[in-house]
Amino acid sequence: MACLLETPIRMSVLSEVTASSRHYVDRLFDPDPQKVLQGVIDMKNAVIGNNKQKANLIVLGAVPRLLYLLQQESSSTELKTECAVVLGSLAMGTENNVKSLLDCHIIPALLQGLLSPDLRFIEACLRCLRTIFTSPVTPEELLYTGPDHQTILFNHGAVQNIAHLLTSVSYKVRMQALKCFSVLAFENPQVSMTLVNVLVDGELLPQIFVKMLQRDKPIEMQLTSAKCLTYMCRAGAIRTDDSSIVLKTLPCLVRMCSKERLLEERVEGAETLAYLIEPDVELQRIASITDHLIAMLADYFKYPSSVSAITDIKRLDHDLKHAHELRQAAFKLYASLGANDEDIRKKIIETENMMDRIVTGLSESSVKVRLAAVRCLHSLSRSVQQLRTSFQDHAVWKPLMKVLQNAPDEILVVASSMLCNLLLEFSPSKEPILESGAVELLCGLTQSENPALRVNGIWALMNMAFQAEQKIKADILRSLSTEQLFRLLSDSDLNVLMKTLGLLRNLLSTRPHIDKIMSTHGKQIMQAVTLILEGEHNIEVKEQTLCILANIADGTTAKELIMTNDDILQKIKYYMGHSHVKLQLATMFCISNLVRNEEEGSQERQDKLRDMGIVDILHKLSQSPDSNLCDKAKTALQQYLA
């Protein structure tokens, strides 16, 4: 019986609480506009810093009435402004408060308020909008985001209207203008190209940004200016070898990575620098030798240290909760630094305990840290030397296989891409990866709805099949199944198709393997080859397919599947006379393998091909201006003369 009493008790408590708040809501419905205004002002004073009062007023239906008053033409500007202030205060409460406001369609009402001629009312609406949009529960799509949003602002003269604010006497105004430019320029060539030529008091905007990132300026200003220049550079508006990037922006961002800086400054500095240098090898080299950056980043993993200089307990508590962001930023920057240069990769790997740190990062609870660690490892795995040494010494493949078992798609894409590198023929990790069940895992990836995962799955299988034993090839074919193989050969994604053809080519190499595979799968493979050669595919696809035919023609018994298929023979003849040399060369490999005279049945094959007019085409090709094609044709003709 006791549990039945809980509800009435809760209801009575709620009744008492809401009763004390109800008079605030009741006053919003008073017929006297002056009393309504005073009621809203009193409500404003009652809710400041009082989350319980905010929740009560929302439960009692204050929000729809406040929004109604805010939108009424008959409401005075002062009343509208006070309503917007109260709504902003309610939004500063809990996430549930924000959800309640969104359910009442607050966004359109506030956006409409921005059309008012009254600056105080506009400011109140903007403050409220900012509070709502900085809440994690607000869906971004409620306001235009990304390129669309940038374009709308750009087309409405945002650049010209904001530019002069950079010379404001108010630091806050200058900073907001800077932040706005960084958001506008991000991954937007149109905006960035315009910013380069904007003049403010006779000075070009990039020059103003450079002045703002000098050491004597506040850190926030230095960082945001560096972001503006970084985004303009990445959008192609400023050259990567421009002095504003090499001598100003890059050194400024490296400074931000110093352990003297606050945690959030170090994170932002490292992530922005990673983005700046990501595509440019020269910037990567410059960054790697600036202020001992590679060693400096190692401190990101030791934070906060036992001898931390932080005496502010609140700051220490904050930093302990956010220390993972430092590790994430360090991994990102190491990944960019090591993207191209072998010497830089070596320096990174030789940094104290680096491989252990990356391996630990692969199993962190934070998805973002795991993703950054995998990206870092992927960048370093481009090194043949490191694949043979450090990666083997630390058995990197083990945690990587664990990551691949259960991870979000964004991590799977990078992890599977790295697995492709670990499965290269010279990698010592190849064998243990095979023994740990990689074939089934990769075959599973080829069935993913995500094209990038399908590509990586088939790419890794292609690497696995390269110069592999017959048993491994048989395992791949069995796990993949011919049905899935042919589904991949008709995949709408060109990369998937190309890698599947590459896999087939690697499977069909060395004569005993070719004959074995064609004896069990020959009919389906010949059917797939026919369909691709007849289809609307590009030159590269058809070249790969003709190379597969050339491999089949190299088999001892497999070549009969070509010789007994008149349709395929006619296609070979057609591509011998094609206008594209790549396709002609691919067919020449096939013909050379078919007419080789030291093999059994060569005379019959040569006769059949002569009757088809192949010899006449060979004579024509022996006069080709392309020396490669000419040589191949002459070599094939010699088989007839021997």
- Per-residue pLDDT, 370: 94
Contact of 221 with 213, CB cutoff 8 Å: yes
Q: Which of the four pLDDT bands, split at 50, 70 and 90, describes residue 33?
A: very high
Residue-level pLDDT at 3? 36
- Give the chain's mean pLDDT: 90
Distance of CA 335 to the CA centre of its chain: 13
21 pLDDT band (50/70/90 cuts)? confident
pLDDT of residue 642: 64
Reported as a single tens digit per residue, the pLDDT across 391-406 is 888 888 899 999 898 8
- Mean pLDDT lowest among 6-15, 98-107, 350-359, 460-469: 6-15
Q: Among 12-16, 347-351, 486-490, name the one with the lowest average pLDDT.
A: 12-16
Residues 78-87, mean pLDDT to the nearest whole number: 96
pLDDT at 51 over 60: yes
Average pLDDT, integer, range 348-352: 91
Task: List, in sequence order, the alpha helices (H) in 259-312.
Answer: 263-277, 281-288, 293-298
Q: What is the pLDDT of residues 276-315, one digit of tens each?
A: 999 999 999 999 999 999 999 999 998 765 445 556 777 7
* Residue 217, number of CB atoms within 10 A of its CB: 15
pLDDT of residue 160: 86
Name residue 539's amino acid.
I
Q: In the structure, what pLDDT confidence band is assigned to residue 144 with cuts at 50, 70 and 90?
A: low
Looking at residue 338, its amino acid is G
Percentage of the chain lying above the pLDDT 90 cut? 71
Per the model's pLDDT, the better-predicted residue between 49 and 546 turns out to be 546
**Listed residue (52, 60, 116, 50) closest to 84, CA to CA:** 116
Which pLDDT does position 439 carry in this prediction?
93
Which of 300, 363, 367 shows the shortest CA–CA distance to 333?
A: 300
**Nearest in space to 272 (alpha carbons), one of 319, 214, 230, 212:** 230
- 5 pLDDT more than 70: no
Closest CA to 562 of 603, 530, 597, 607: 530
Q: What is the pLDDT of residue 305?
A: 59
Confidence of residue 382 (pLDDT cuts 50, 70, 90): confident
Let me know if 252 is exposed, middle or buried by CB neighbors in 10 A (0-12, 13-18, 19+): buried
In this structure, what are the phi and psi dihedrals at residue 237, rounded to the nearest 5 degrees? -85, -25
What's the pLDDT at 141? 64
468's tokens: 């592999």
pLDDT the model gives residue 304: 66
Q: Identify the pLDDT of residue 599.
A: 84
Whether pLDDT at 2 is above 80: no
Q: Which residue has the higher pLDDT, 165 or 145?
A: 165
Q: Give the C-alpha separation, 103 to 105, whole Å.
A: 5
Contact 278, 336 (CB under 8 A): yes
Which residues are within 8 A (CB) of 550 and not within 5 positions of it... i.e. 6 or more apart?
Answer: 586, 587, 589, 590, 593
Distance, CA of 117 to CA of 1 (rounded, Å)? 62
Q: How far is CA 524 from CA 489, 518, 534, 570, in A?
A: 11, 9, 15, 19
Q: Using 50, 70 and 90 to split pLDDT, how confident is the model at 19?
A: low
Q: CA dist 270 to 291, 382, 409, Å?
A: 13, 22, 25
> 12 pLDDT exceeds 50?
no
Average pLDDT rounded to a whole number, residues 343-356: 92
Position with higher pLDDT, 311 vs 560? 560
| Residue type at 373 in one-letter notation | A
Q: Is 60 exceeded by the pLDDT of residue 416? A: yes
Percent of the chain with pLDDT over 70: 95
pLDDT score at 145: 53
Does residue 430 carry a pLDDT above 60? yes
